[in-house]
Amino acid sequence: MRQHLAHVGWHLFTAAAVVSLVICVAALVIWPVGHWRRLYFKYCFGVTQIEIQTEAGTLAVGRYEFPRAVPRGWGGATRDLDADSPSGPFDFGRLHKDRLRPDDNLYDCVWCPHWFVVALFGVMPTVWFVRFRRRRVRLLKGRCIGCGYDLRATPGRCPECGTIPRLPRNPPMQRTAAGTGALK
Ligand SMILES: [Zn+2]
């Protein structure tokens, strides 16, 4: 059971690392664009709209609440950089604009330096890669992937941490059993 959980954990970690890597790469790709033009993507849910914008090395996520529903959908555009475009490598902040009149939009925004997002979402893929390498090296050397203990004397189960090495192929017995089941 614990063994099963360890494998599930590894798969979940792999999935999370892939998502993290995609965000990291996307942030890396749009980063230089923001130094040339303001670039934003938005998705409107009706009343709520979420916007992601990159501008002169700063990445911002904003949320609008409109007074009434507008058409749903994706959008995006580039605009000229403002003279007062946020700048500086340590520009973190948030902004909240309340409705002053019922017809106003409610607006929330948080922003941070672009490098921060790239670094933040780069951590998990890096940790994943280090662990992946370690598992590979241990497997190739006949060591336990859980703790690194030498398993050449006890290949069935790690005497140190109890990890049961996964078999690299389907055991023939299982295939026979599955075949018999299919015939019935
Ligand atoms: Zn072990």
**Predicted TM-score of the model (pTM):** 0.76
- Cα 160 to averaged position of ligand 1 atoms, centre (Å): 5
Q: How many CA atoms lie within 13 A of 44 on its CB side?
A: 13
Is residue 100 included in any domain, yes or no?
yes
Q: How far is the CA of 166 from the centre of ligand 1 (A)?
A: 12
Looking at residue 182, its pLDDT comes to 41
Q: Is residue 136 part of a domain?
A: no
How many independent structural domains does the chain possess?
1
Q: Is 59 a member of any domain?
A: yes
Classify residue 104: in a domain, yes or no. yes
Measured CA to CA, the distance from residue 22 to residue 9 in angstroms comes to 20
Q: Is 178 among the domain residues? A: no
Q: Find the 4 Cα to ligand 1 centroid distance in Å.
A: 14
Q: What is the predicted pLDDT for the residue at 41?
A: 96
Nearest partner of 93 among 115, 117, 111, judged by Cα: 111
Q: Is residue 95 part of a domain?
A: yes
Ligand 1 centroid from CA 154, angstroms: 11
Q: How far apart are CA 26 and CA 24, in angstroms?
A: 6
What type of residue is 84? Answer: D
Domain assignment present for residue 32? The answer is yes
Read off the pLDDT band of 164 (50, 70, 90).
confident
Residue 76 near residue 40 (C-beta atoms within 8 A):
yes
Strand partners, 63: 50, 108
Give residue 164 CA to ligand 1 midpoint distance, Å: 8
Q: CA 161 to CA 139: how far, in whole Å?
A: 15
Which residues span the domain enclosing 59?
22-119
Residue 39 lies in a domain: yes
Cα gap 93→116, rounded to integer Å: 13
143 CA from centroid of ligand 1 (Å): 8
User: Residue 41 Cα, ligand 1 centroid: separation in angstroms?
Assistant: 47
More confident residue, 181 or 109: 109
Mean pLDDT of 29-53: 94
- Cα 135 to ligand 1 centre (Å): 12
